[in-house]
Amino acid sequence: MKYITRLNHPPAVKLPEDNRPLIAPIYQSVKFTFDDVEESERHSRGERDGFIYSRVSNPTLRQLELSLAELQGRDSCLLTASGVAASNLTLMALCKQGDHVVLFAEMYQPTRYCVRRLLARFGVMHTMLSIDDHAGIEKILASKPTRAIVFESPTNPVLKVADIVRITAAARAHGALTILDNTFAGFHNHGQFDIDVYVHSLTKYASGHGDVMGGAVIARKELIDAMRTDFIVMGATLDPHAAFLIQRGLRTYGLRYERQCGNAQRIAEFLASRPEVKRVRYPGLASDPGHALARQQMQDFGTMVTVELAADSDGATRFAEALQLFAISASLGSTESLVQPGRLMRPRDLSAEEKGWAAVNDTTVRLSIGIEDADDLIADLEQALAER
């Protein structure tokens, strides 16, 4: 062969069967091949295992899918290029014209947008409620056939704790699917409940280092299989290198999450003692409205702390800007601590009543707690409170 041909057909390196890499390699290949057409046809008919095209499936992605499904206590998983893609593709795959969806004001704005704008264009109806409105949830389910209830727990950003037992029981009684955005709680929480579909942003705790994006949809196999073709055709597939980085991040997931929760508890207790703080929302505080429910439902209380400052909008802004260890940034769950002032979280798509349910105003500040030393973080918060 001439060198230009050889460069496109490099020598294959095969490992002996008893000689395995400790860390699985990145299968950074779009295409896979079989030795002949017959085996390719058998694969396309589902008669044999294997891979053909990375938008459909890839060994690196498959390892991550198996890891996440097991961690969440289910048997199947689909990966996407972002958390938003995971949430919205799930809704698009499960809903059709004439269906009805229940959603809540206290949830991620892009999810609200998908239901209220994108799905509405294709004839999917919806009802917006507050996650606290248990009577309203049961009333709407009893009065209107509903395809799915989509919710979060704890909610973003004010950390309301949903009554998962009550929601799932009502949904099951009326034939509705439950879709839980479980990003804030993490993969090790809520697996014991009768949830049909778990959605996660892998950008947060799974990766943990703020340098890769991804999403996951986790459910029982038959439900994942029913959505799989739609996901493949939509094309928002996770890249193999991103999947490798997320799988690597999972190795320290438990250690990071435990440290972040411990830091969050100390910080919430500190902030609750300060006169500059009007209110602290953290399920780990006995004074929090969701504390008893969180103790029943969760193994821990999470890594997010949200406060309402005893200040005006400018004071909340000065507080955020005075922080030195907390970066002003979106997202959460990474090793460094982050802050989002209310001015950057205003729910502009909600009505006045719905904004009241969401409970976000200009003096609201959301803190994502990292793995730094808790004393250093508290000292930073203390000096910033003096600047508010």
Amino acid letter, residue 377 = L
Question: Which of 55, 294, 24, 284 is closest to 153 using CA atoms?
Answer: 294
3 state SS of 231: helix
Across 84-122, b (16+ Cβ under 10 Å) vs e yields bbbbbbbbbbbbeeebbbbbbbbbbeebbebbeeebeee
Active site residues: 55, 108, 181, 204
> Long-range contacts of range 86-89, CB-CB < 8 Å, 24 or more positions apart?
86/199, 86/200, 86/201, 86/215, 86/216, 86/217, 87/111, 87/114, 87/150, 87/179, 87/181, 87/199, 87/215, 88/114, 88/118, 89/217, 89/227, 89/230, 89/231, 89/234, 89/236
Q: Residue 111 is which amino acid?
A: T
The token duo for 310 is 């005893």
Amino acid at 303: T
What sign does the dihedral 326-332-63-298 (CA atoms) show?
positive
DSSP 244-312: HHHHHHHTTHHHHHHHHHHHHHHHHHHHHT-TTEEEEE-TTSTTSTTHHHHHHH-SS--SEEEEEESS-
- Cα gap 237→167, rounded to integer Å: 31
